[in-house]
Structure 1
Amino acid sequence: MKHSLFTTAVVGLGLLAAVPRSQAQTADQKFGVSGYVSTLQYRGDLGSNFWDLRHASYGGGLTLSRYISKGFDINLSGNQAVLRYPGDGSSFTNQNPALSNGRRFSANVTNLGLGLKFKLPVKDEFFVHPYILLQPGLAIVYTDRYASPTAANSRTSFGSFDGQVALGLDFHLTPGFGVFVQAGQHYLDRDDDRLDGVNSGSSNFFDKYDRYMQFSAGLTAAFGKAKDTDGDGVPDRKDKCPDTPTGVKVDVNGCPLDTDGDGVPDYQDKCPDVKGLAALQGCPDADGDGVADADDKCPNTPAGVRVDATGCPLDSDGDGVADYLDKCPNTPAGVKVDATGCPIDTDGDGVPDYQDKCPDRAGPASNKGCPEIKAEDKKILNEATKYINFDFNKATLKTSSYAKLNQMVQIMNDYPDYSLSIAGHTDSKGADDYNLRLSYERAASARKYMLEKGIPADRIEARGYGETKPIADNKTAAGQALNRRVDFDPYLTGDTNAAEAKYGPAPTIADIKAAGNKLPGKKTTGTGAPRSRKAPLKKAPTKKRK
Structure 2
Amino acid sequence: MRHSLIPILALGLTLLAAPHGQAQNADRKTAVSLYGSAYQYKGSLGSDFWKWDRNYYGPGISINRYLTPGLDLGLQGSYVELKGNQSAATFFNTNVVNVNLALKLKLNNGWALKEDAVIQPYLLIAPGIAYTSREGSVRGTSINGNSTYASGFGAAGINFRISDGIGLFVQTGQHIPLNANIDGDPIRDDDRFDDRYLQHTAGLTIAFGKPKDTDQDGVPDRKDKCPNTPAGVAVDPTGCPLDGDSDGVPDYQDKCPTEKGLANLEGCPDRDNDGVRDSEDACPDAAGTPALKGCPDADGDGVSDPNDKCPSTPAGTQVDANGCPLVLDQDSDGILDNVDKCPGTPAGARVDSTGCPLVIDPATQGLQVPIRFKTNSTVIDRRSYPAINKMVQALEAHPDYSLRIIGHADSRGTDEYNQGLSERRAAAVKRYFVGKKIDASRIVTEGRGEGEPATPNTSPTNMSKNRRVEFQFEFFTTPPPQL
Q: Please, what TM-score do these two structures have when normalized by structure 2?
A: 0.51
Distance 1:312 1:195, change over 3 A: farther
Shift in CA distance, 122/81, structure 1 to aligned 2, threshold 3 Å? same
Is 1:3 matched with 2:8? yes
Distance in 2 between residues matched to 1:266 and 1:66, nearest whole Å: 41
State the 1:185 CA deviation: 0.5
- Is structure 2 residue 263 aligned with structure 1 residue 275? no
One-letter amino acid matched to 1:113: L
Q: Percent identity?
A: 35
Q: One-letter code of the match for 1:153? A: I
Alpha-carbon contact 2:29-2:65 (below 8 Å) kept:
yes
Contact 2:63 2:75 (8 Å CA) reproduced: yes
1:92 correspondence with 2:86: yes
Residue 80 (structure 1) aligned to one of 59, 62, 78: 78
Equivalent positions of 1:269-348 (< 5 A) are 269-285=254-270, 288-296=273-281, 299-300=282-283, 303=286, 305-308=288-291, 310-311=293-294, 326-327=313-314, 329=316, 341=325
Cα distance in 2 for partners of 1:271, 1:254 equals: 22
Return closer, same or farther for 1:193/1:317 CA change in 2, 3 Å cut-off: farther
Q: Distance in 2 between matches of 1:337 and 1:126?
A: 68
Equivalent position of 2:142 in the other structure: 152
Partner Cα separation in structure 2 for residue 235 and residue 108 of structure 1: 43
Distance 1:261 1:301, change over 3 A: closer
Q: What's the offset of the Cα at 1:171? A: 3.9
Pair 1:37 & 2:24 matched: no
* Alpha-carbon offset, residue 62 of structure 1: 1.1
Matches within 5 A, 1:16-415: 26=25, 31-52=30-51, 56-66=55-65, 72=70, 74-86=72-84, 91-92=85-86, 102=90, 104=92, 106-119=94-107, 129=119, 131-144=121-134, 148-160=138-150, 162-173=151-162, 176-188=165-177, 190-191=178-179, 196=184, 198=186, 200-202=188-190, 208-226=193-211, 228=213, 230-235=215-220, 241-285=226-270, 288-296=273-281, 299-300=282-283, 303=286, 305-308=288-291, 310-311=293-294, 326-327=313-314, 329=316, 341=325
Q: For 2:211 and 2:181, how far apart are their aligned partners in 1?
A: 49
Cα distance in 1 for partners of 2:260, 2:157 equals 58
Q: Which amino acid counterpart does residue 17 of structure 2 have in structure 1?
A: G
Instruction: Write out per-residue CA displacement over residues 406-444 of structure 1, whole angstroms, 9 at most, x where no aligned residue.
Output: xxxxxxxxxxxxxxxxxxxxxxxxxxxxxxxxxxxxxxx
Q: In 2 relative to 1, CA 157–191 (structure 1 residues): closer, same or farther, beyond 3 Å?
A: closer
Shift of 1:154: 4.9
Rate the CA distance shift 1:280–1:117 in 2: closer, same or farther, 3 A: same
Amino acid corresponding to residue 163 of structure 1 in structure 2: G
Distance 1:326 1:215, change over 3 A: same
By how many angstroms is 1:138 displaced?
1.0
- 2:205 counterpart letter in structure 1: T
**Corresponding residue of 1:500:** none
CA RMSD of aligned residues (A): 4.8
For the 8 Å contact 2:276–2:289, the answer to whether it is kept is no
Equivalent-residue separation in structure 2 for 1:53 and 1:166 (angstroms): 18
Contact map agreement 2:149 2:180 (CA 8 A) in 1:
no
The verdict on how the C-alpha distance between 1:302 and 1:156 changes in structure 2, with shifts beyond 3 A counting, is closer
2:275–2:294 contact (8 Å) kept in structure 1? yes
- Aligned partners of 2:51 and 2:251: how far apart in 1? 69
Q: Kindly state the Cα deviation for residue 64 of structure 1 after the two structures are TM-superposed.
A: 2.4
User: Judging changes above 3 Å, is the alpha-carbon distance between structure 1 residues 199 and 244 closer, same or farther for their aligned structure 2 residues?
Assistant: farther
Tell me the amino acid that sits aligned with residue 258 of structure 2.
Answer: D
Letter in 1 for 2:316: P
Q: 1:338 and 1:170 mapped to 2: Cα distance?
A: 79
**Structure 2 contact 286–296 (Cα < 8 Å) conserved:** no
C-alpha distance in 1, partners of 2:311/2:189? 103
Closer/same/farther in 2, CA of residues 194 and 276 from structure 1, 3 Å limit: closer
Distance 1:149 1:292, change over 3 A: same
Partner amino acid for 2:173? G
Deviations 1:493-531 (A, max 9, x none): xxxxxxxxxxxxxxxxxxxxxxxxxxxxxxxxxxxxxxx
Provide structure 1 residue ranges, at least 5 long, that are not aligned to the other structure.
96-100, 345-353, 356-546
8 Å CA contact retained: 1:329, 1:341: no
Q: CA deviation at 1:176?
A: 4.7
Q: CA deviation at 1:272?
A: 1.6
- The 1-side partners of 2:290 and 2:163 are apart by 62
In structure 1, what is the Cα distance between the partners aligned to 2:245 and 2:165? 40
Instruction: Return the alpha-carbon distance in structure 1 between the equivalents of residues 292 and 179 of structure 2.
Output: 85
Name structure 2 gaps, 5 residues minimum: 329-337, 340-483
Residue identity matched to 2:153: Q
**Deviation digits for residues 56-91 of structure 1, max 9, x if unmatched?**
54332112245678x8462534223235351xxxx2
Taking structure 1 as the reference length, the TM-score comes to 0.46
* Contact 1:144 1:154 (C-alpha < 8 Å) held by counterparts: yes
Amino acid at match of 2:79: A
The alignment partner of 1:3 has SS state of: helix
